Amino acid sequence: MRIAAIQDMDISGKRLVVRADLNVPMAAGRVTDATRITRFANGMKVLLAKGAALVVLSHFGRPKGGFDAAFSLRHLRDDLSRALGCPVAFAKLDGALDAARGLAPGQVLLVENIRFEAGEEENDPALAARLALLGDIYVNDAFSCAHRAHASTEAIARLMPAAAGPLMMEELSALDAALEAPKSPSVAIVGGAKVSSKIAVLKNLVAKVDHVIVGGGMANTFLFADGAPMGKSLHEADQVATVAEIRALAKQHGCIIHIPQDAVVAQTFAAHAPNAVIPANACPEDAMILDAGPAAIESFRAVLSGARTILWNGPLGAFELAPFDRATVALAQAAADLTRARLCTSVAGGGDTVAALNAAGVTDQFTYVSTAGGAFLEWLEGRTLPGIAALMRADHAA
């Protein structure tokens, strides 16, 4: 993939227009999880130390129709300053050009929420031209926004020298190792509620990895396609033909699909609800499957035991409700153990996946955990992301 890395360029005395993803959760005016800010800042410190000045662009929330104080990036200024270890100036876009021109090497300017600008989500060339005036080199460091063709992620890369930032390169390298050039045996764990939401993901994965473990409500649909009664279990009765298509594609590529042979059922969807372990093809009419059973867990562990690449997207059960988190936690710990022993590369991503790994306490033990949601899924589907394509086309000469 021909993408320039900003770390490899001479940036001393240059102003970098950096697209970040600072869209962090907040409550009562305070950041409740600064992970994205911290990870972004760690990469930017290196660029500042090389004598670059930074003009940071980001969105925050989903503002509708212009300025909304609740979505102002001003709320994040202090957190970003602490993470970078230096003062951060702030400006609305109308005043950003003068502020940017006044930056000295090692200084940082945070520009107001780019989604306050009407042309951002329309990929407006005029807005992109205004943004391009803010610096010498464009840097996209927001993989999580790369699936959007917006003015700050796509159009701007056509107007000035462009490169990928440290986080972007880290993400692309991890995903490439897990999906485009996985070491065999390779295993993908795919969970979540619906097969229909991950048809493209499954079709792409079975063509690229050796094993796919299917869990969650998705596994129920596979079981239903085999004639298993579902009782009150979440499943998609209209996706039987899709399951057959995915299985045929897997067979064509030599990929083995694994589904649970036993399951944990309960009559109510609630934490600590009375439950029982049953064969996966014997769900009672008044019960619902909420997790993979102990035999399935051991079977899945055996699949993972020899893996050299593990790619994970989606939980294996109702992980937010104890004790129906057991399968997810058990496999997360198994993958973490293999990674710590340097026996495999493990890459995970997606909102529920990150939450599940956090709950299992193993997030920092995986090789790489992506905070991207939609972009991660679209990458798993094999799509070319607009923000990545723009960097591939871009002029790399600064």
Residues annotated as catalytic (active site), given as ranges: 36, 194, 351, 374
CB 58 within 8 A of CB 23: yes
Output phi, psi for 228, to 5 deg.
-75, 135
For residue 279, whether the previous peptide bond is cis, meaning omega lies within 30 degrees of 0, is no
- Cβ burial of 1 (10 Å; 0-12, 13-18, 19+) is exposed
What is the distance of C-alpha 87 from the center of its chain?
29
337 closest CA partner among 359, 361, 316: 361
Which residues touch 307 (CB under 8 Å, ≥6 apart)?
Answer: 185, 186, 187, 211, 338, 344
Name the phi and psi angles at 36, rounded to 5: -65, -40
* Distance, CA of 389 to CA of 376 (rounded, Å): 15
Amino acid at 145: C
Six-digit token pair at 171? 């993400």
Gap between the Cα atoms of 103 and 114, Å rounded:
20
Pairing of strands 88-91, 30-31: unpaired
CA distances from 206 to 106, 127, 178, 249 (A): 47, 41, 13, 7
Q: Furthest-apart CA pair in the chain: how many Å?
A: 70
Reported as type and span, the H/E element at residue 264 is strand 262-266
Structure tokens at 116: 């306050």
- Considering only CA atoms, which of 128, 136, 82 is closest in space to residue 390? 128
Beta strands 345-349 and 368-370 are parallel
